[in-house]
């Protein structure tokens, strides 16, 4: 379910919702025309009240969903910066290691920063490359940890190797936090409820217009397009590495350049 739902582009979802909402408006309009003869001012007033309430619920759901998606986006952006800082700190603390562990660790960090920088700019469709780089990241983490363990046994000093081990552990945790942030999305139930509110609201707009004997005004269609565009923004914020809104990887790219300038490749 997750692979299918989050594999769809934001534009595909938004255009599908727009089409369903317009179909619901047309169906509601035709049903309203059929019931126009038997309607009265009281029933039309009641329908208008129900429509106003539905649009209020739609606005509330849209605002709530947008807030969740924006929070997820902010969390991913912060996770990238935190990981870059953690990698940079651990790299600097390689100076506390004795040789030859220091040189080995610095070369491994150069490879690690390169892989993470390239991995951060992959799109969602580059699945094979992403899986291969994730495996490479774990391999490099394991190698760095083994080097740190050996250095700690050779020079068990908490003020030198101990600080390096601590920063290395924080770097690994930062990567895990970043990967966890990528998997945090707006709950399916909330998204589906928002979709249902869109379609039902469209049907009620058309039905109200049908009872009045006239098609919805152009301003109504403009409102529908604006609301669907906001829905697109929500979906795009909630889907990292695809769409228009992307989490900046500049901190990782800058870190790679800094390490490459320090460690000869």
Q: How do residues 206-228 score in pLDDT, each as one tens digit?
A: 988 888 888 888 888 898 899 88
- Other CB atoms within 10 A of residue 229 CB: 12
Average pLDDT, the chain: 87
Question: Which three-class secondary structure string do you get for the chain?
Answer: CHHHHHHCCHHHHHHHHHHHHHHHHHHHHHHHHHCCCCCCHHHHHHHHHHHHHHHHHHHHHHHHHHHHHHHHHHHHHHHHHHHHHHHHHHHHHHHHCCCCHHHHHHHHHHHHHHHHHHHHCCCCCCHHHHHHHHHHHHHHHHHHHHHHHHHHHHCCCCCCHHHHHHHHHHHHHHHHHHHHHHCCCCCHHHHHHHHHHHHHHHHHHHHHHHHHCCCCCHHHHHHHHHHHHHHHHHHHHCCCCCCCCCCCCHHHHHHHHHHHHHCCC
Q: What is the pLDDT of residue 88?
A: 95
pTM of the model: 0.83
Residue 172, token pair as written in the block: 């690994």
Residue whose C-alpha is closest to residue 15's, from 27, 23, 7, 3: 23
pLDDT of residue 25: 92
* pLDDT for 21 beyond 60: yes
- For the cut 60, the answer to whether the pLDDT of residue 120 exceeds it is yes
More confident residue, 87 or 227: 87
Tens of pLDDT, residues 139-171 = 999 999 999 988 888 877 777 788 999 999 999
- 40-74 per-position pLDDT tens digit: 777 778 888 888 888 888 889 889 999 999 999 99
Share of the chain above pLDDT 90, in %: 40
Q: Can you give the pLDDT at residue 82?
A: 96
């Amino acid at each position: 379910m997750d692979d299918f739902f989050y594999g769809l582009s934001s534009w595909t979802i938004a255009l599908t919702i727009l089409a369903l909402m317009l179909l619901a408006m047309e169906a509601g309009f035709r049903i309203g025309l059929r019931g126009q003869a038997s309607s009265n001012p009281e029933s039309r007033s009641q329908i208008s009240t129900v429509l106003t309430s539905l649009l209020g619920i739609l606005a509330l759901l849209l605002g709530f969903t947008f807030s969740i998606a924006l929070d997820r986006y902010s969390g991913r952006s912060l996770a990238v910066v935190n990981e870059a800082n953690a990698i940079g700190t651990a790299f600097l603390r390689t100076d506390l290691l004795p040789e030859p562990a220091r040189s080995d660790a610095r070369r491994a960090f150069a490879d690690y920063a390169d892989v993470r920088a390239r991995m951060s700019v992959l799109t969602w469709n580059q699945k094979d490359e992403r899986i291969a780089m994730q495996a490479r990241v774990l391999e490099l983490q394991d190698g760095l940890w083994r080097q740190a363990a050996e250095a700690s046994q050779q020079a068990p000093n908490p003020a030198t190797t101990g600080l390096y081990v601590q920063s290395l552990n924080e770097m690994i945790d930062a990567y895990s936090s970043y990967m966890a942030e990528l998997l945090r999305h707006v709950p399916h139930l909330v998204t589906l409820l928002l979709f249902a509110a869109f379609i039902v609201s469209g049907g009620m707009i058309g039905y109200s217009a049908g009872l009045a004997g006239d098609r919805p005004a152009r301003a109504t269609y403009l409102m529908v397009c604006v609301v669907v565009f906001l829905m697109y923004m929500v979906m795009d914020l909630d889907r990292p590495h695809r769409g228009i809104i992307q989490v900046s990887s500049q901190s990782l790219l800058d870190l790679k350049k800094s390490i490459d300038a320090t460690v000869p490749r």
